[in-house]
Amino acid sequence: MSLSINIPHKTYPNGVCALQDLHLTAERGEFIALVGPSGTGKSTLLNIIAGLDQDFVGQIAYPPQATLSFMFQEPRLMPWLSVADNIRLVLDAPQYQTDSARFTRMDTLLQQLDLQDFRDSFPKQLSGGMKRRVALVRAFVTQPSLLLMDEPFQSLDEPTAQELRQLLLTLWAENAPTVLFVTHSLNEALLLADRVIFLSARPARVILDYRVPLPRPRPLATSALQPLQVTLLQEYPALLSGVLTLPTFSQPHSP
């Protein structure tokens, strides 16, 4: 589904202006990464799009039939519920109760993400990567047309994060939701997204809307992204001057 964001400003009651003149559109099925410095307003923006925060000046427009999923930095599983019950919790919401295929879809996704033997396990019995896989099942089981992801693979070891990125790309290709994916990592953004939106320091506004010139399927080796990073940052040196924190990037040498 298409999405249009027009926010003249979002100011918290304590006077902190998190977003200013932020305008952005997303086409149906597009994968968009949002990259910006810490504390600029990325989570604020996702909360506004999700309707969790309605105290802002502006409009968010998407089709009325749109369905939305949100995947947070923490997997946010209920510790007292099994894997299957954590997912059923979402499926039991009134808007999904008439969907007779929903539990079959849950079983298929559990199988696809290799969780079929853990449906009766509790979150504390799962590794960090497995909890994120459950969160991915929960995000996709409702067949969202818009998927909001707020640094969902943070604080995982790199091989686990890469495995989850690959799973996400597979699920995205199969289900084609529009995705807004917040990350601090330029590598992760280039690996996943059709477009990378670079946000300024607070108050956040769009400073660069960059179309990733890489074919799909993408190379998963981050070394394959290095030449693209070099070109991008040579073309837009402003991205290096305090706008981005790029722990994985080696700055190109001046001639």
Ligand X SMILES: Nc1ncnc2c1ncn2[C@@H]1O[C@H](COP(=O)(O)OP(=O)(O)OP(=O)(O)O)[C@@H](O)[C@H]1O
- Whose tokens are 């497995």? That residue is 130
Q: Is 65 in the site for ligand X (CB under 6 A)?
A: no
Q: Is 80 in the site for ligand X (CB under 6 A)?
A: no
- Stretch binding ligand X (CB under 6 A), from 14-22, 54-62, 119-127, 136-144: 14-22
Q: Is 18 in the site for ligand X (CB under 6 A)?
A: yes
Single residue of 3, 30, 31, 44 touching ligand X by CB under 6 A: 44
Q: Is 205 in the site for ligand X (CB under 6 A)?
A: no
Smallest gap from residue 46 Cβ to ligand X (A)? 8
Q: Is 12 in the site for ligand X (CB under 6 A)?
A: yes
- List the beta bridge partners of residue 68: 146
Backbone angles phi, psi at 183, to 5 degrees: -150, 155
Decide whether 3 or 204 has the Cβ nearer to ligand X: 204
How many residues contact ligand X, by CB under 6 A? 13
* Residue 247 token pair: 């722990």
Smallest gap from residue 199 Cβ to ligand X (A)? 8
- Looking at this protein, which amino acid is placed at residue 75? P
Q: Is 212 in the site for ligand X (CB under 6 A)?
A: no
- Stretch binding ligand X (CB under 6 A), from 35-43, 60-68, 120-128, 160-168: 35-43
Single residue of 39, 63, 217, 242 touching ligand X by CB under 6 A: 39
Smallest gap from residue 176 Cβ to ligand X (A)? 26
The DSSP code sequence of the chain is --EEEEEEEEE-TTS-EEEEEEEEEE-TT-EEEEE--TTSSHHHHHHHHTTS---SEEEEE--TT--EEEE-SS----TTS-HHHHHHHHHTSGGGTT-TTHHHHHHHHHHHTT-GGGTT--GGGS-HHHHHHHHHHHHHTT--SEEEEESTTTTS-HHHHHHHHHHHHHHHHHH--EEEEEES-HHHHHHH-SEEEEEPSSSB-EEEEEE----SSPP-SGGGGHHHHHHHHHH-GGGGTTT---TTPPPPPP-
Smallest gap from residue 63 Cβ to ligand X (A)? 26
Single residue of 26, 31, 32, 42 touching ligand X by CB under 6 A: 42
Decide whether 165 or 202 has the Cβ nearer to ligand X: 202
Which residues of the chain form contacts with ligand X (CB under 6 A)?
Answer: 12, 14, 16, 18, 36, 38-44, 202
